[in-house]
Amino acid sequence: MSTLRNTFSACASAGRSAFIPYITAGDPSLQDTATFVRTLAAAGADILELGVPFSDPIADGPVNQQAAERALAAGTTLQGILNLVRDLRAEGMTLPIILFTYLNPVLRMGLDSFAAQAVAAGVTGLLVVDLPPEAAGPYGAVMAHHGLETVFLVSPTSPPERLKAAAQASTGFVYVVSRTGVTGEQVALADSLPQEIARLRTYIDAPLAVGFGISTPEQAHAVAQLADGVVVGSALVRTIAAGPDLATTQKNLEQQARALQSATQKG
């Protein structure tokens, strides 16, 4: 069984949904990102999503777009992020780490070269936001060859054919977009989410992690009753952006993450 699926299985055995925080790598610096990764791991994260900043995001809302802009202005590169993961692994970090990226930076490095370097650095898997599963055959083959796990997105508008393709292409888990639109906090979850998760499970046997718009412990708890994983991104990225200094940010991030992690208990 894959590392990611083992993680979901362990969480299910513990009676909870997996807590999957997302932060943008390099915001405000890669050194600070390393501190935040350690903080999230200590706060109980089960899987970490590290966003690769990209100049032309299409799935990110204002909070994550601005984080990507700050990271790029700080000189963050894909190679630098791989080096960051390598350093964290050298410290003994065992938390599964997924890179959340667009396809362009990966192709720029070269798919095979990227995969080889990612595995050597200790990356667990990859979610390429703008790569549809129907077009992912060559990509999936390279990932499998190097032992990288794959995650694909589905949404409320995904037809059955797309759901089946995503299920087949995802060796780690399937990321469920909780609504139409981009990333960002929302006041309330969609009323249709229970029915949507039920629909997805008729086509997908892989673990389902729900993201896009989950920001509070109450929302995380509601999603945990339905899904195998809860992804929280923009709310954490906003905390990082608020500062005002590293020590304060670290403290606020840890408190926020612990509250979210506690809310993923089922029942």
**pTM of the full structure:** 0.94
Q: Is the pLDDT assigned to residue 202 strictly greater than 50?
A: yes
Q: Is the pLDDT assigned to residue 111 strictly greater than 60?
A: yes
What is the set of active-site residues? Answer: 49, 60
- 239 near 256, Cβ under 8 Å? yes
Q: In the chain, where are the structural domains located?
A: 3-262
Q: Where are the alpha helices (DSSP H) in the chain?
A: 3-13, 30-42, 62-73, 78-91, 103-109, 111-121, 137-146, 160-169, 193-201, 217-224, 234-242, 246-262
Give the tens place of pLDDT for each residue, 37-59.
999 999 999 999 999 999 887 76
More confident residue, 59 or 104: 104
Q: Is the pLDDT assigned to residue 1 strictly greater than 60?
A: no
* Residues above pLDDT 90, as percent of the chain: 85
- 123 near 97, Cβ under 8 Å? yes
Pick the CATH number of 3-262 from 3.90.1300.10, 3.20.20.70, 3.40.190.10, 3.40.50.300: 3.20.20.70
pLDDT category at 189 given cuts 50, 70, 90 is: low
Residues 229-253, mean pLDDT to the nearest whole number: 95
More confident residue, 3 or 181: 3
Would you state the pLDDT for residue 186? 53
The mean of the pLDDT values for the chain is 93
- Paired tokens of 90: 């050298």
Q: Is the pLDDT assigned to residue 185 strictly greater than 80?
A: no
Q: Is the pLDDT assigned to residue 205 strictly greater than 90?
A: yes
Look at residue 114 and give its three-state secondary structure: helix
Tell whether the torsion through CA atoms of 217, 223, 229 and 231 is positive or negative: negative
Would you state the pLDDT for residue 191? 80
